[in-house]
């Protein structure tokens, strides 16, 4: 029994597929006879492209007589030069998002990056995304190194690479501005020759097995905007010197490593452009420095599990007027929560759960108009809740104050019945009977991870090449089809 809509869908898909194929054939084999004065792809580069394409299982490319004149998504070429010759400047592989599908590696177990890339002397951008993941190999460093100063963007993201990051490769790619090796199995230290990449704007080596210390020369990269080394095994200290040169940085993510020693302090004051700081899950010690509050542009401060600090909350955080996410969980925060939130109008998420905070919940926390999530559970807070009915309604299921034995509701306050459900009466407070807010029922969060929350803002995407795995798949058949279409079809006619 097939649903009417399914039949309808399949019908539409078949028409679309037929149309795609037709267009593909027309585009791949243009009927017009080529005239001698049309620009042509440089022959050496043409054959290099055929080899690179067939190494990824895209043999169809070699049936295209001139790759720069009959392009597909994922190849770009220069304008004709003085000899009327076209040069290949960009090659991209992998299904990036639903509307950006470069050629995929169709024969996954065999796909690799062909050494022929070394024969593309004009290549500015080389991009592989989840392409060679089923055929793990080291990065073809020698071949990439031959591209030298022409290469500006090198993205080998979730591409199955093993082995080391080659120091010699880095040393030769002097004009690189984007280096994205996220999500491979690279296992080495970060070579000091990273310091040669003086034009680097984005460096993302996150989710690998990189070890040893941060290279000191990193801090000589003055153009750097995004530095993401998260989810590695980096050790050693993070000094004021290391970070104070990063005055252009927007995003600094060193989370999920093994960094230790005391946190930097005055160094933070140089990070006036920083919007996201994530040092979560490391082994730092010492108090939270007051200088954290002097990063004027900060929108997200993520210091979860950065070590057992036994620190108070610096009152200077009140200066972070752009802050939207404040997460300092499981670090042994002690003392009272200072009443500093009046000027922090943009706060949406506050998490300080699993600490040893004492005293009252400050009034200013209850006055935040944008707040959508507050987790203060597992502390030693006491007293009444400073939240108006409006605030509790807004936070509803995203207010978690569990496991604070001393927190109480005043019985005559207007808290919603949902909040009061499952609570117990407590005694000994002035002003009549109160109810212990030991357990707030129905706590759940639609924002399960502050990193994801932050990632909703483009500013924080570590790379313009975001993983599309979380996109809505309700129209999957069409997406698959449109990919097939783009990949089989893969052709735009170039209009010269
Ligand atoms: C054009 O071709 C000549 C001879 O092959 C060569 O010497 C010259 O460098 C070429 N010009 C360009 C801009 O590539
Ligand atoms: C709130 O904090 C508690 C205690 O640390 C934790 O178990 C819970 O998962 C947190 N909730 C969210 C949504 O992060």
User: pLDDT tens, 264-274?
Assistant: 999 999 999 99
The closest ligand to the CA of 401 turns out to be 2
In 3D space, the residue among 305, 299, 301 whose CA is nearest the CA of residue 314 turns out to be 301
The closest ligand to the CA of 80 turns out to be 1
Ligand 1 pocket: which of 39, 83, 85, 121 to mutate (most atoms within 8 A of CB): 83
Ligand 1: centre distance to CA 377 (Å): 71
| DSSP E strand boundaries for 94-172 | 125-129, 137-138, 153-157, 161-163
For the record, the structure tokens of 436 come out as 């212990």
How many Cβ atoms sit within 10 Å of the Cβ of residue 143?
17
> Tokens 């933070």 appear where?
268
Atom of ligand 1 nearest to the CA of 82: 13
Q: Please enumerate in sequence order all residues whose Cβ is within 8 A of that of 466, keeping only pairs 6 or more positions apart, or say none.
A: 97
Atom of ligand 2 nearest to the CA of 445: 13
Ligand 2: centre distance to CA 375 (Å): 7
The closest ligand to the CA of 83 turns out to be 1
CA distance 330 to 333: 8
Q: What is the pLDDT of residue 413?
A: 54
* C-alpha to C-alpha distances, 291 to 43, 305, 311, 319, 392, nearest whole angstrom: 59, 19, 14, 10, 32
Q: What is the pLDDT of residue 427?
A: 55
Atom of ligand 1 nearest to the CA of 81: 13
Query: Can you name the CATH fold of 258-461?
Result: 3.80.10
Write the DSSP assignment of 130-144 as a string of letters: SSSTTS-EE--HHHH
pTM to 2 decimal places: 0.79
Low-confidence ranges of the chain (pLDDT < 50): 1-5, 7-33, 416-425, 429-496
Boundaries of every domain in the chain = 1-29+38-237+476-496, 258-461
Of all protein residues, the one whose alpha carbon is nearest to atom 1 of ligand 2 is 375
Three-state secondary-structure class, residue 227: strand
In 3D space, the residue among 379, 371, 370 whose CA is nearest the CA of residue 352 turns out to be 379
Handedness of CA 11, 13, 15, 17 (dihedral sign): negative
Q: Rounded to 5 degrees, what angle do the CA atoms 181, 187, 189 make?
A: 90
| DSSP E strand boundaries for 198-254 | 202-204, 226-228, 235-237, 251-253
Ligand 2: centre distance to CA 439 (Å): 13
What would the CATH number be for the domain defined by 1-29+38-237+476-496?
Answer: 3.80.10.10
* C-alpha to C-alpha distances, 358 to 361, 363, 376, 386, 439, nearest whole angstrom: 9, 15, 11, 15, 18
For the record, the structure tokens of 281 come out as 């899950």
Q: Please enumerate in sequence order all residues whose Cβ is within 8 A of that of 3, keeping only pairs 6 or more positions apart, or say none.
A: none
Domains 1-29+38-237+476-496 and 258-461 share a fold: yes
Atom of ligand 2 nearest to the CA of 444: 13
Alpha helices (H) in 401-470, listed in sequence order: 417-420, 450-455
Cβ-contact 302, 325 below 8 angstroms: yes
Report whether residue 353 contacts ligand 2, using a CB cutoff of 6 Å: yes
Q: What is the pLDDT of residue 99?
A: 75
Q: Please enumerate in sequence order all residues whose Cβ is within 8 A of that of 409, keeping only pairs 6 or more positions apart, or say none.
A: 384, 385, 415, 419, 420, 423, 434, 435, 436, 437
Three-state secondary-structure class, residue 249: coil
Q: What is the pLDDT of residue 358?
A: 93
Cβ-contact 68, 88 below 8 angstroms: yes
Ligand 1: centre distance to CA 142 (Å): 27
């Amino acid at each position: 029994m097939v649903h009417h809509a399914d039949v309808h869908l399949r019908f539409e898909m078949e028409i679309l597929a037929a149309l795609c194929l037709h267009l593909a054939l027309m585009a791949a084999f243009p009927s017009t006879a080529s005239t001698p004065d049309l620009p042509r792809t440089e022959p050496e580069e043409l054959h290099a492209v055929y080899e690179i394409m067939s190494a990824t299982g895209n043999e169809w490319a070699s049936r295209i007589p001139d790759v720069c004149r009959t392009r597909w998504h994922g190849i770009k070429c220069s304008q004709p030069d003085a000899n009327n010759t076209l040069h290949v400047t960009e090659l991209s592989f992998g299904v990036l998002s639903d509307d950006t599908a470069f050629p995929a590696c169709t024969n996954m177990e065999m796909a690799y990056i062909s050494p022929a890339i070394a024969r593309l002397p004009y290549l500015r951008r080389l991009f592989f995304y989840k392409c060679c993941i089923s055929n793990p190999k080291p990065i073809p460093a020698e071949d990439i190194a031959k591209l030298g100063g022409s290469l500006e963007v090198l993205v080998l993201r979730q591409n199955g690479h093993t082995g080391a990051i080659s120091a010699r490769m880095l040393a030769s790619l002097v004009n690189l501005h984007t280096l994205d090796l996220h999500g491979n199995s690279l296992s080495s230290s970060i070579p000091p020759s990273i310091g040669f990449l003086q034009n680097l704007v984005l460096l993302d080596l996150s989710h690998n097995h990189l070890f040893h210390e941060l290279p000191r020369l990193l801090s000589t990269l003055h153009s750097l905007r995004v530095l993401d080394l998260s989810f590695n095994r980096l050790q050693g200290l993070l000094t004021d010197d290391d970070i104070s040169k990063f005055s252009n940085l927007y995003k600094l993510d060193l989370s999920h490593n093994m960094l230790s020693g005391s946190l930097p302090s005055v160094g933070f004051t140089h990070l006036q452009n920083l919007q996201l700081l994530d040092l979560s899950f490391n082994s730092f010690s010492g108090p939270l420095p007051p200088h954290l509050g002097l990063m004027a542009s900060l929108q997200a401060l993520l210091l979860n599990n950065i070590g057992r600090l036994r620190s108070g909350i610096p009152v200077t955080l009140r200066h972070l007027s752009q802050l939207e996410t404040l997460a300092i969980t499981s670090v042994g925060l002690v003392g009272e929560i200072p009443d500093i939130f009046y000027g922090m109008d943009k706060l949406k998420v506050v998490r300080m759960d699993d600490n040893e905070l004492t005293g009252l919940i400050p009034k200013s926390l209850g006055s935040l108009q944008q707040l959508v999530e507050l987790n203060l559970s597992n502390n030693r807070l006491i007293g009444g809740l400073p939240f108006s009915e409006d605030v509790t309604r807004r936070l509803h299921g995203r207010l978690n104050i569990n496991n604070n034995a001393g927190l109480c509701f005043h019985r005559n306050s207007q808290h919603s019945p949902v909040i009061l459900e499952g609570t117990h009466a407590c005694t000994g407070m002035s002003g009549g009977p109160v109810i212990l807010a030991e357990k707030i029922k129905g706590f759940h969060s639609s924002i399960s991870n502050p990193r994801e929350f932050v990632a909703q803002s483009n500013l924080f995407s570590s790379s313009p090449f975001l993983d599309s795995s979380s996109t809505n798949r309700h129209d999957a058949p069409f997406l698959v089809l449109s990919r097939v279409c783009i990949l089989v079809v893969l052709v735009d006619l170039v209009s010269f």
